[in-house]
Structure 1
Amino acid sequence: MSLKKLRIYNNLISTPRIIITCLSAIIVRYYLMMSKYQSVIANHVEVSTPLNSWKRVSEGLYLLSLNINPYEGDLLHETPLSLYLYKNILQVFQGKIHLAFITLDVTTAVVLYFTTKKFTEDLFVEEEENKATYAKDAEECFLKPDKLFKSSYYVLLTYLFNPYILFSCVGYSTTVFYNLYLSVMLFSMVHGIPVLCGVFLAIAASVSFYPVVLVLPITMYFKYAIKSHTKIIVNLTSFVVTSLLIFVLCSNFGTDFSYIRSVYGCILTIPDLQPNVGLFWYFFTEMFEHFRELFIYAFQINTTILYLIPVSLKFRKHPFLLTVAVNFIITIFKSYPSVGDVGFVLSLMPSFSHLFPFSQQGFLVGTMLVISTSLAPILYYLWIYCNSANANFYFGVTLSFAVAQIFLLTDLLFSQVKRDYMLKYGKDRKIDGEEGILCLE
């Protein structure tokens, strides 16, 4: 199929339809922000964590206006550069912060749309070039252009109307900024812009620390998808230089290095045990103090490098999937996750619509997500306000929420393995005359 015909397929969704979708999302967000539900949503622990609460940012900005170091206590966990950015955004939008969050959230959705649009184009072109190497009876596994290229629009829809993303935006969670950084990083990665990719990876890592491990998947992308060693070097150089620049700027804005303890120390040592949708808070609440350091090392290794090397080796030929998978692992196991983090990775799932026929746990995962999301605020209210439940009830819900994400991720990765097998060997699973067993290696 010619590139011209490919672009015709890829433009099945017209620009007016995208504009109408974005306007609808803006109206929904604005209505919720102006309603009485805004404060209710913003105060939920599933939405606001110690790291992304706008209330804490507001207090930090107020302390800064009084020439008081906002990092002296245990209030603020945003970097000085982020605080400076928020201050200027408030000035640009003249204090109407809801307009800033709406603008950034819709911008993220549009960036993800163009990211997945480029990804599906490259995926289709790659398959067209390699069709001669596929098994003869693997036609049913081939990509269907009319469905594949609609996936970018579904990503747009999923992000804009995902309840997790809506809650994050309406609740003024600074995860909205973090998601924008990640989306621009992905956009520049698939479009082969190593400088921009390195810059936004450094910005995302300065905010949350964990995205540092995305260096390896991005390197895999430039090596196997872009096939350019020069861009790998440029990307790594821009990442290192930007990280050093951010460190210098933060030191100047913060006048000292106290922000390191408040920002990265909080992420790594988990001093604030406020409940959230993650797994850290319960374990460290119940743990004996003399075991704390051991489990901090164990949990942080689990979040960062434990799965990185094996997953990268197995899916190095699918670097975009690898990047999303590593980000998904970070989302599940990070110390202070929120529903905004989960919503971001879930919104990227339609870009892998070609793997859905091979998945097996969609219904189970969907049911678990719906039930755990519905029960979380109820059980938290019973625990904290009614005193008729305890931490075990709420942790059971967060554990179910994490297990659902794990099932989704493993199902997605296994679907890719099954599709690769069928493209190479066809429907017949007999190897040397015996029935083969398909398994992850």
Structure 2
Amino acid sequence: MSRKWLSNFALAGTIRLLIMNSEYQKIIGNRVEVSTALNSWKRVTEGVYLHKFGIDPYEGDLFHETPIGLYVFTLMQEYLPQWALFLLFVVVDLTTALCLAHAAKHYAFELTMKKKEEKDEKELSKDVPNTSALYVSTAYLFNPYIILNCIGLTTTVFTNLLYSIVLVSMTRRSVLWSCATIALLTLQGLYPMSLMVPATIYVATTAKNRKISIVTMLIVFTSILAILFAVSYCIMGSWSFLWSTIGFILTVPDLRPNIGLYWYFFTEMFEHFRWLFIASFQINVSLLYIVPLALRLRRDPMLLAFSYLAIAAIFKSYPCIGDVGFYISLLPLWKHLFQHMQQGFIVGCFLLFCTVFAPTVWHQWIYSRSANANFYFGVTLAFAIAQIFLLTDILFASVKYEFAVQHGIDKKINGNEAKLLLE
């Protein structure tokens, strides 16, 4: 097992470093599917340059990282040469895979214990946690979306690391680490605040007094978030960063194309409908699904966290393939649900075709001028639909699995494997 781990990490790191030091690095870094207004390293470099010369980087529409991020990125660019910067991105990406492996191992162990309580002897295996950890880390290390995200030097690499720490902290029931990492992510991207729900469920399930544990989580999270805002204010000396970070995410002023749905709608609509659409879109991604999913998936908070991550990656203001690749890498956690899924082939084909067609249609639109914005938006819309199919399919598979476990359904009919259909 250790040889597999070492070979996987070595190969993944080598692939990243080789492409980073090739002529393809700049091409990938400039792709709209990889870099957005929120995670572009080019924008980070320009923001650091402005800050170094005493100019507020939050004036205008250029820099959208947090002041804490600005401080860290300034240190990185001052003290790290280019080769060390490349190496840092690769190490952070490999660390994310390692954290996901630990989270997968803990989650698989919990599933195994549940199955033991349910006396599901066929599903039991002592090696399940290690296998699940290996599958998840491999899915992350060799995910094309993640590889391109790392090669493009996007700040989503660091965001994914924080997400992985959140998942590890959740499975370990760590109040401080869960709240701290979610607070950092909330300061940067707002939508990760929803992860407080599964984190709180994890902590409350093992606490002696659930009400006290819930209140504790809320107090710790609010306190850390307030401290982070105070630190950000001390770094910049003003609150100007709020409009360029959280305000920028909520109001969507930058309408350059990406793999999301906002840019086309807000480009085509009449201006007096803008705030109605902004409210509708933001409620959809941040509020609409939190309570229903929490009620339905309260017994499986990891699947709940996966659902929130997927919804944010699909409907957020400025998504990139790094967001999509992260939650797709978590799919091996639910390999026991694959037998109940029905849309796997369709979703796989959709994702593959959209991944190939997106740069093709972009070239036809921008360079050849033989297409227009409708073509590219058609690809991004299909990409979003494929992700919605994937999420709904795995949620329905979870329902089918629970039904099969409770009722002890035989999966064979006349000696042949059968599928459970819910109508």
Normalised TM-score (structure 1):
0.90
Are the equivalent residues in 1 in contact too, given 2:149–2:321 (CA < 8 A)? yes
SS in 2 for 1:385: helix
Are the equivalent residues in 2 in contact too, given 1:93–1:100 (CA < 8 A)? no
Aligned pair count?
413
Residues 343/227 of structure 1: CA separation in 2 closer, same or farther (3 Å cut): farther
Distance in 2 of aligned mates of 1:223 and 1:130: 22
State the identity as a percent: 45
1:5 maps to which residue? Answer: none
Residues 144/405 of structure 1: CA separation in 2 closer, same or farther (3 Å cut): farther
Distance in 2 of aligned mates of 1:68 and 1:411: 49
Distance in 2 of aligned mates of 1:104 and 1:235: 28
- Say if 2:378 is the partner of 1:390: no
Are the equivalent residues in 1 in contact too, given 2:106–2:129 (CA < 8 A)? no
Distance in 2 of aligned mates of 1:312 and 1:389: 43
- Say if 2:34 is the partner of 1:50: no
SS in 1 for 2:353: helix
> Which of 162, 169, 174 is 2:155 aligned to?
174
| Residue pairs, 1:265-304, within 5 angstroms | 265-304=247-286
1:202-233, Cα deviation, whole Å (9 max, x unpaired): 00111111011221222222233667635444
| Residue pairs, 1:188-337, within 5 angstroms | 188-224=169-205, 229=210, 230-337=212-319
Are the equivalent residues in 2 in contact too, given 1:89–1:100 (CA < 8 A)? no
Q: Residue 45 of structure 2 aligns to which amino acid in structure 1?
A: S
Distance in 2 of aligned mates of 1:59 and 1:321: 39
2:341 maps to which residue? Answer: 359
Residues 228/97 of structure 1: CA separation in 2 closer, same or farther (3 Å cut): farther
Are the equivalent residues in 1 in contact too, given 2:258–2:319 (CA < 8 A)? yes
1:170-196, Cα deviation, whole Å (9 max, x unpaired): 001100011011110110110111111
Residues 17/226 of structure 1: CA separation in 2 closer, same or farther (3 Å cut): farther
Distance in 1 of aligned mates of 2:323 and 2:245: 18
Residues 282/226 of structure 1: CA separation in 2 closer, same or farther (3 Å cut): farther
Distance in 2 of aligned mates of 1:315 and 1:428: 25
Residues 354/145 of structure 1: CA separation in 2 closer, same or farther (3 Å cut): farther
1:378-410, Cα deviation, whole Å (9 max, x unpaired): 101111111110011001100111011101101
Are the equivalent residues in 2 in contact too, given 1:224–1:317 (CA < 8 A)? no
Q: Which moved more, 1:226-235 or 1:251-260?
A: 226-235
1:18 maps to which residue? Answer: 5
1:183 maps to which residue? Answer: 164
Distance in 2 of aligned mates of 1:250 and 1:367: 44
- Say if 2:92 is the partner of 1:104: yes
Residues 81/360 of structure 1: CA separation in 2 closer, same or farther (3 Å cut): same
Residues 116/225 of structure 1: CA separation in 2 closer, same or farther (3 Å cut): farther
- Say if 2:113 is the partner of 1:125: yes
Distance in 1 of aligned mates of 2:126 and 2:397: 19
Greater RCO, 1 or 2 (C-alpha within 8 Å, sep 6+) = 1
SS in 1 for 2:275: helix
Where does structure 1 lack aligned partners over 5 or more consecutive residues?
1-13, 132-137, 430-435
Distance in 1 of aligned mates of 2:331 and 2:205: 22
Distance in 2 of aligned mates of 1:437 and 1:35: 49
Residues 89/234 of structure 1: CA separation in 2 closer, same or farther (3 Å cut): farther
Q: CA deviation at 1:92?
A: 5.0
1:135 maps to which residue? Answer: none
| Residue pairs, 1:404-423, within 5 angstroms | 404-423=386-405
Distance in 1 of aligned mates of 2:325 and 2:208: 31
Residues 225/160 of structure 1: CA separation in 2 closer, same or farther (3 Å cut): farther
Distance in 2 of aligned mates of 1:204 and 1:378: 33
Q: Which moved more, 1:226-235 or 1:344-353?
A: 226-235
Where does structure 2 lack aligned partners over 5 or more consecutive residues?
412-419
1:263-283, Cα deviation, whole Å (9 max, x unpaired): 111100100001111111111
1:3 maps to which residue? Answer: none
Distance in 1 of aligned mates of 2:111 and 2:75: 40
Distance in 2 of aligned mates of 1:238 and 1:184: 17
Are the equivalent residues in 2 in contact too, given 1:224–1:316 (CA < 8 A)? no
Are the equivalent residues in 2 in contact too, given 1:192–1:226 (CA < 8 A)? no
1:35 maps to which residue? Answer: 22
Distance in 2 of aligned mates of 1:83 and 1:312: 34
2:417 maps to which residue? Answer: none
SS in 1 for 2:245: helix
1:279-330, Cα deviation, whole Å (9 max, x unpaired): 1111101110010000000000000111111111111111111111111111
Are the equivalent residues in 2 in contact too, given 1:195–1:234 (CA < 8 A)? no
Normalised TM-score (structure 2):
0.94
Residues 396/437 of structure 1: CA separation in 2 closer, same or farther (3 Å cut): closer
Are the equivalent residues in 2 in contact too, given 1:148–1:353 (CA < 8 A)? no
Q: Residue 342 of structure 1 aligns to which amino acid in structure 2?
A: V
Are the equivalent residues in 2 in contact too, given 1:369–1:401 (CA < 8 A)? yes
Q: Residue 55 of structure 2 aligns to which amino acid in structure 1?
A: I
What's the Cα RMSD here? 1.8
